[in-house]
Copies of this chain bind each other. A is one copy, B any other.
Amino acid sequence: MKPSIPKGTRDFLPEEMIRRNYIFNTIRKVFEKYAYLPIETPAMENLSTLMGKYGEEGDRLLFKILNSGDFMAGVNMDELTLNQLATKICEKGLRYDLTVPFARFVVQHREQLVFPFKRYQMQPVWRADRPQKGRYREFYQCDVDVIGTKSLLQEVELLQITYEIFEAFKIPVVIKMNNRKILSGIAEIIELPEKITDICVAIDKIDKIGKENVFAELREREIPEEAIRKIAPFFDFSGKNEDKIAFLTHFFENSEVGKQGVEELKKVFAYCQAIGVCEPELDITLARGLNYYTGAIFEVKALNVAMGSISGGGRYDDLTGIFGLKEMSGVGISYGAERIYDILNECSLFPNEIGTPVKALFLNFGEVEERYALKALTILRKNNIASEIYPDSTKIGKQMSYANAKQIPYVIIAGEEEMAASQFTLKNMETGEQVKTTIQEIVEILLQ
């Protein structure tokens, strides 16, 4: 039996774990600096919480958990479709993202929470997607949200957090921003407000398929030719944010919702100027697929790297409504840990100092020397120096290979000679340099 793991899932070896933890810790530090606090939700949610929240495609991609005990009791196979059978024998599913569980959490615990509630959450999610390069069936999301305030200051805070995170990673990014009300304004102007979803879905593809194909898709979705002509200027427009704002102000003369969208964008940009935050790039064709956004929408792209967005989010005015709690506006953004990992890896941006935490290895020369080394090892550890002794008095070459493979920077040698002098030989594994000295001196060197 050759052991393996389910396709689309991964084991993480120490070297990868250390790098992944660097990513999570960097993001966590920024979240906490901006006063967001951690929560966690269970891996399993009731399927009734998850189903219908991610569209038909999403329902299909949920991992469902077989009921315990006699799961077939009372099940009449002949009367059920495959989907009905699945929800009959499975009451629970693995979480698909962190947003729906967060909405469920806010409603369930609303009496205990302080609003505006600022939370972050970094946990794995599971999707029964077809695995491919860079797409996994288990992967981590890092979400930050504030719920219970309509203040546009929060949009600006999310921009600050985003800039700060990617600055910490030394990844140059551009943040693109739009407002769903701009898109609603378009639907209003062409007098097809019920077509807003179709319009968003089509426009969302512009980066991938280009303007002409977006028009073709709009036609397919039964948007009349005249309406498409009205929208067209949107796609030909470029310039600075202020030029775009001027264009939009004119364009939305007759749309209330469009005007609101422009107002919100202007306020966010004004905040940016006042605080000294770099203005995001207003991209009036940015749509983002998700249905629940109602205000600002964000997307982050890494410069100089061929990769889709590495982060995205927006404002939702009624996410908790599906669980019975109205009037809870929130705004949030999600960072893709896996994509950040890939960029840091490809661009060699992982800092050197996040290598192994282990600072020193004592070689093992046999029973007597071992006792001598063990006492010194205790001293290192008392000084919070991560260190170890090779557990067997095997060949020295093997012990040195262990230190090399584990990338331990120092090896400490204590044979007869050192013992006689109450000293130790400290070998720098990078330079090969050796010094014979006391354990107190070694502590000082290793603490540097």
Residues of A within 8 A of B (CB): 1-6, 9-14, 17-18, 21, 32-35, 37-46, 48-49, 60-61, 63-66, 68, 70-72, 77, 82, 85-86, 89-92, 94, 104-105, 107-109, 112-114, 116, 118-119, 124, 126, 128, 137-138, 146, 149-151, 153-154, 271, 274-276, 323-324, 356-358, 361, 370-371, 374-375, 378, 381, 384-389, 391-392, 401-402, 405-406
CB contacts (< 8 Å) of A356 on chain B: these are: 37
Bound-complex Cα distance A105 to B150 (A): 48
Bound-complex Cα distance A14 to B137 (A): 28
- Which residue of chain B lies nearest to A404 when distances are taken between CB atoms in the complex? B114
Subset of 9 A-B contacts with CB under 8 Å: A4-B108, A5-B46, A6-B45, A33-B384, A42-B138, A43-B126, A66-B90, A71-B82, A72-B82
**A39-B14 contact given A151-B391, A275-B375, CB 8 Å threshold:** yes
**A85-B72 contact given A10-B42, A18-B38, CB 8 Å threshold:** yes
Report the minimal beta-carbon distance from A61 to chain B, rounded to whole angstroms: 8
CB contacts (< 8 Å) of A126 on chain B: these are: 43-44
Bound-complex Cα distance A154 to B29 (A): 35
Pick from B14, B37, B38, B371: contact of A119, CB under 8 Å: B14
- Which residue of chain B lies nearest to A360 when distances are taken between CB atoms in the complex? B35
**A114-B11 contact given A3-B49, A37-B356, A65-B65, CB 8 Å threshold:** no
Report the minimal beta-carbon distance from A236 to chain B, rounded to whole angstroms: 37
Bound-complex Cα distance A104 to B6 (A): 13
CB contacts (< 8 Å) of A18 on chain B: these are: 37-38
Q: How many copies does the complex hold?
A: 2
Contact between B108 and A3, CB atoms less than 8 A apart: yes
CB contacts (< 8 Å) of A112 on chain B: these are: 13
Bound-complex Cα distance A105 to B113 (A): 40
Contact between B138 and A43, CB atoms less than 8 A apart: yes
Pick from B86, B124, B149, B392: contact of A391, CB under 8 Å: B149
Contact between B66 and A86, CB atoms less than 8 A apart: yes
CB contacts (< 8 Å) of A402 on chain B: these are: 114, 116
Contact between B108 and A33, CB atoms less than 8 A apart: no
Contact between A138 and B4, CB atoms less than 8 A apart: no
Pick from B11, B35, B370, B388: contact of A42, CB under 8 Å: B11
Bound-complex Cα distance A68 to B59 (A): 11
CB contacts (< 8 Å) of A2 on chain B: these are: 324
Bound-complex Cα distance A65 to B85 (A): 14
Contact between A17 and B41, CB atoms less than 8 A apart: no
Pick from B1, B49, B70, B91: contact of A48, CB under 8 Å: B1
Closest 3 CB pairs of A and B: A9-B42, A151-B391, A35-B388
Bound-complex Cα distance A4 to B90 (A): 16
Bound-complex Cα distance A100 to B91 (A): 27
